[in-house]
Structure 1
Amino acid sequence: MREVERFSKKREGGILRSCGLALKWITSLLSVSDDICGIPSNQPRFIFSRIIGGEEAVPYSWPWQVSVQISDEHVCGGAVLAREWVVTAAHFLLNNKIEINFKRSVKQYIIHPSFNKTTMDSDIALLQLAEPLEFNPYVGPVCLPAKEEAVQPSRVCVVTGWGAHEAVPILVLDTCQSYYINLPSKVTQRMICAGFPLEEGKDSCTGDSGGPLVCPSEDNSGFYTLHGITSWGLGCGEKSYPGVYTNVGVFVDWIKHITSENLISSKCIIIPFFIAFLVLMNVFLTAALLLCFSGLGGGREV
């Protein structure tokens, strides 16, 4: 009997030790590293099929995707850079004239000083949230490019909206400039063009303004970097008129200056299916995942 008792105690201790080690392992998996950005918890899949011509996104594919909503209506996209910072398009803030309510739901918004609402040059703005987000595999920041980092033509990147995404190739800037040469808005070095100018039906469109254009790492490590912000174009999916995006690499110094370079937050624990809502009066800023195929409202600047 004593041998059995000793064996039981030994076995019990072993089980407890094993559980303790397992708990440490599980806890390590449930934490978000201080240095992690640009990693989807579910790798996206693509069947070239809206956004215009895009397909519904896999849930949790793009944890930095933000929907800016007024009176429960999606009007603009954005991308999470840090726990208190979201980047979006400047023209949305000017067009909607929601300074009072918007400041109450967000601590402040900052439009780039060089933004030109006529030419759409420097179409970028930062939103500082009134309350910080909690990062986990379902809500997290996208990576910023290096200063002046250029994304090479023909590289395939991804434009995301609120519920849909589309893989689009980066275009040679000179070629893109030729498509818009007769329009008031000119394509400048502070812009990126992406899409299928020889085809119809594949493009970012209504409601996608301010949303991210992200490019996967070239070493296939699974990281995504924010290279573009959906800005303007002629129509949606029109032949010979590709989508035009703010070139984020040009504005990295400005972004870091405004955010004090605090672009990665501290660790936090996973909350499954977490959706962060900042709500005040009739203005909503939702940092969540692409759970619904609802990117049909609002409007990209044309």
Structure 2
Amino acid sequence: MTPLFIVSFVFLFRRSAALSPVILSDESFIRRVNESYSKYLHSICGRETVRVFTQNSSRVISGRRTPWSVSLVLQGKHKLGGTLISPFHILTAAHGFVKFSTFDTAPCAVSGHKSIRELRSRRVAFGGDCIRGHSDELPNHVNCQKADVRFAKIRNVIFDGDFANGQCLRGHDWAIIELEDPIEFSELVAPICLPYPDESVQRYLTVSGWGRTNVFNDSDPFIRRWQMEHDPNCKAPWSDKMPTRVEDYLCTKSLDPKNYLSMRTCHGNSGGGIEQTDFNGITTLLGITSYGTKGCPPNELARFTRVDKYLDDICKFTGVCYTIR
């Protein structure tokens, strides 16, 4: 039997230490799951839900490879990725909620957060791989004749204010989204596992998202999933002048940096997760896509915000505490 999940609230103030809440609801608190539900999340998290079986001599595939991946959409268009960690909570990137005067260079200049009106207009698309069907104005994908997602409303957003205070030089590019209503888990929707403190990182990691395949093309509606190689030295190409030695960075490169067609992060992948899967098939969220080398070249250095650096804050605001308690 699934335990009940709501027992406590954290009241949000306009400035709470380094974390900056954007309050979209009429009530200034964020809901947390209780301890027993946190333990339950640990028992079900990180499992792919794909099932392959034969029915009437036909091969049938059900479930999803990334049931925790979500898209934040505005007017039907993908804007930001995210990763589900509880029925109420999504981890994503802080930079998707602030207004920049500059961002391609460091230091960047932030002039505040996006308008409440825009944030209330955004929806979280979950439970499917196609965020929209055919479009006459946007790129299409052969697998997406129609959308197969459902949509949830955003109740509150909490982002790390030190991202803006650090002028894009010191990391902290992460945020928590609280949903208006809880998402029901199924073969199409499931939470990913959080990492343990100082989680060891495998050589090859997996990225998922609805971002562009290169800087010249707009993103299409079908989610992609690909591998990148961990670069513990965070060595950037000569053209990349953005920071590399940041405490909460996890860095990767494409598997073939000399091949223009090699899969890598680009515009639209921000906020999505980078993950690794252990020998038991359990998938853990290691990082949140932050940014990469300008222009998304095949030899780009992609930066992700390490989730294990913020487990205490995640626990405080969501109640998802199973890797630190």
TM > 0.5 between the two? yes
Per-residue Cα deviation, 1:56-106 (whole angstroms, up to 9, x for no partner): xx9611000000001111111000010000010000111481423425731
Per-residue Cα deviation, 1:33-57 (whole angstroms, up to 9, x for no partner): 752001111289xxxxxxxxxxxxx
Structure 2 counterpart of 1:234, from 293, 311, 320: 293
The residue that corresponds to 1:39 in the other structure is 47
Partner-residue secondary structure (3-state), 2:258:
coil
Instruction: Output aligned runs, 1:83-98, within 5 Å.
Output: 83-95=87-99, 97-98=114-115
2:47, 2:304 → 1: CA distance? 22
**Residue 168 of structure 1: how far off its partner (Å):** 1.2
2:317, 2:283 → 1: CA distance? 22
2:309, 2:178 → 1: CA distance? 20
2:179, 2:302 → 1: CA distance? 28
1:113, 1:127 → 2: CA distance? 15
Identical aligned residues as a percent? 26
Instruction: Output aligned runs, 1:236-251, within 5 Å.
Output: 237-251=296-310
The answer to whether the 8 A contact 1:180-1:186 is kept is no
Output the amino acid matched with 2:320: E
- Tell which has more relative contact order, 1 or 2 (C-alpha 8 A, sep 6+): 1
Indicate how the Cα distance of structure 1 residues 88 and 115 shifts in structure 2: closer, same or farther if over 3 A, else same: same
1:206, 1:170 → 2: CA distance? 20
**Residue 159 of structure 1: how far off its partner (Å):** 0.3
**Residue 241 of structure 1: how far off its partner (Å):** 2.1
| Runs of 5+ consecutive residues of structure 2 not aligned to the other structure | 1-39, 53-61, 100-112, 122-152, 211-222
Indicate how the Cα distance of structure 1 residues 99 and 187 shifts in structure 2: closer, same or farther if over 3 A, else same: farther
Indicate how the Cα distance of structure 1 residues 204 and 184 shifts in structure 2: closer, same or farther if over 3 A, else same: closer
1:182, 1:65 → 2: CA distance? 29
Instruction: Output aligned runs, 1:54-93, within 5 Å.
Output: 60-93=64-97
Partner-residue secondary structure (3-state), 2:85:
strand
Structure 2 counterpart of 1:210, from 260, 264, 271: 271
Partner-residue secondary structure (3-state), 2:188:
coil
Structure 1 counterpart of 2:159, from 107, 111, 119: 111
The residue that corresponds to 1:125 in the other structure is 175
Instruction: Output aligned runs, 1:75-224, within 5 Å.
Output: 75-95=79-99, 97-103=114-120, 105-116=153-164, 117-119=167-169, 121-152=171-202, 155-162=203-210, 163-172=223-232, 174=233, 176-179=234-237, 183-196=241-254, 198-200=257-259, 201-217=262-278, 220-224=279-283
The answer to whether the 8 A contact 2:63-2:188 is kept is no
TM-score normalised by L of structure 2:
0.59
TM-score normalised by L of structure 1:
0.64
**Residue 251 of structure 1: how far off its partner (Å):** 1.2
Q: Which has the larger radius of gyration?
A: 1
1:120, 1:203 → 2: CA distance? 23
Structure with more helix by fraction:
1
2:248, 2:272 → 1: CA distance? 17
Partner-residue secondary structure (3-state), 2:162:
coil
The answer to whether the 8 A contact 1:91-1:120 is kept is no
Output the amino acid matched with 2:267: T
Structure with more strand by fraction:
2
Partner-residue secondary structure (3-state), 1:115:
helix
Per-residue Cα deviation, 1:247-270 (whole angstroms, up to 9, x for no partner): 111111111111123679xxxxxx
The answer to whether the 8 A contact 1:148-1:252 is kept is no
Partner-residue secondary structure (3-state), 1:82:
coil
Number of residue equivalences = 213
Partner-residue secondary structure (3-state), 2:44:
coil
Indicate how the Cα distance of structure 1 residues 120 and 61 shifts in structure 2: closer, same or farther if over 3 A, else same: farther
The answer to whether the 8 A contact 1:215-1:225 is kept is yes
Root-mean-square deviation (CA, aligned residues, Å) is 2.7
Indicate how the Cα distance of structure 1 residues 66 and 87 shifts in structure 2: closer, same or farther if over 3 A, else same: same
2:308, 2:321 → 1: CA distance? 17
The answer to whether the 8 A contact 1:202-1:237 is kept is no
Per-residue Cα deviation, 1:105-134 (whole angstroms, up to 9, x for no partner): 311100013213532611000000011000
1:130, 1:136 → 2: CA distance? 19
